[in-house]
Amino acid sequence: MSSYFTDLAQQYIDGEWRPGTGSWDIIDFNPYDNEKLASITIATVDEVDAAYRAAERAQRQWAATNPYARRAVFEKALRLVEEREAEIGEAIVAELGGTRLKAAFELHLAKEFLREAVHLALAPEGRIIPSPVDGKENRVYRVPVGVVGVISPFNFPFLLSLKSVAPALALGNAVVLKPHQNTPIVGGTLVAKILEDAGLPGGLLNVVVTDIAEIGDAFIEHPVPKVISFTGSDKVGRHVATVCAANFKRSVLELGGNSALVVLDDADVDYAVDAAVFSRFVHQGQVCMAANRVLVDRAVADEFTEKFVAKVSGLKVGDPRDPSTVIGPVINSSQADALSGVVEQALAEGATALVRGSVTDNLVEPSVLTGLPADSALLRQEVFGPVAFLVPFDGEEEAVRLVNDTPYGLSGAVHTGDVERGVNFAKRIDTGMFHVNDGTVHDEPIVPFGGEKHSGLGRLNGDTMLDAFTTQKWISVQHGRSGFPF
């Protein structure tokens, strides 16, 4: 077992590693074999306050630090991730049941986002804006918001913590990070350790491992943070947004999805099958962009269905440490139980199981269902696991209507032999992201990443990080003399 789970099972506040003072512990389990990885005494409201106050104290000097010096921290952090890649990969496999393939995928993206953080340190630029007043110079400065609170999820915890933490710090802010209770090391204290070793001054990044059962809304209500960056479910995201709005905070919300992969009548069926299987089953389907629904034109439905079912049936389920495993465990028993419930509900509503996987502890084998009634709630909600719904359609108009018939709007994909037909199709879908002749699961460092409808507010990545983690300040200079009416 990685030493991370013994060395980093603490809180990280004001540059110090220390135990929490709560009355109970969060137990960190390996979801595959239920091995106890770590026990972390939770942070209390007082420790959340201490973390935010430390961040507030440290931030002003950091903001005044030469951005080239800030940049150097992230250059070193990138080198450290590269040097420790094998250990971090092992931790991903152990703590969240990620397969070897998934761990490599997450680490690749994490390095790309650290490279972008290096660039972001130098990105803020000011402007001079003309004034209608003689002698006046209008300067607009791009400045850090101050302190950012980050709440990260369990599915890609290392990547999705770094994705907000690194840009916010690079742009001159301080950060308090609350990782998900199921991934406190990979999504929390490991990030702090890497940045500490990279030379980030104490107090600028604080990690509190805790639970809302202990702290309630203290993390998002606290007066210090000006922005809360949350990645998780739309239900919790709605609450975060409400509390932020009531406290005059900005929220950046990356929420759930119910993405569709659409196969039009002129698609390359074999390629579409490959894309659909990856899009639904990568990391056990525990991905916000995953293709919950696979929509197939009836003209190619029989061929697609036969090949899709054959490929899904061949996916190896089991120990994520085995390099040949494609489907590892879901994160915990409540997720496994919920997925069993989804399949049972679908069958009770009249669906047909083309593949019906069994559930053993947290190992949920893939299921492929078709024939769900058009009004089924299951077709409109997020299903966070290896359950695919195949939905036939007649023609492009019906496909557009079906894809949009959901409260979510995160990602999606369309397969067609005509690229421009695909682009025109994509333009009609109410999503923040859509892909032509590819999968639904993509993230890149400089494209605007985010969703519409219940899938979130705001964007991350590239220049949109400036909108998320900085604000604009107008300073005018009167070089002459203004005239006043009295």
- Among candidates 163, 143, 144, which has minimal Cα distance to 153? 163
d(CA 344, CA 364): 14
Strand partners, 476: 138
d(CA 242, CA 463): 26
User: Measured at the alpha carbon of residue 81, what is the angle toward residues 80 and 87, in degrees to the nearest 5?
Assistant: 105
- Among candidates 98, 97, 99, 100, which has minimal Cα distance to 32? 97
Pick the catalytic residue: 254, 303, 365, 444?
Answer: 254
Q: What pairing do the DSSP bridges indicate for beta strands 127-129 and 408-409? A: unpaired
Instruction: For the chain, give the number of residues.
Output: 486
d(CA 116, CA 74): 9
Tokens of 178: 């609350």
90 is catalytic: no
Active site residues: 254
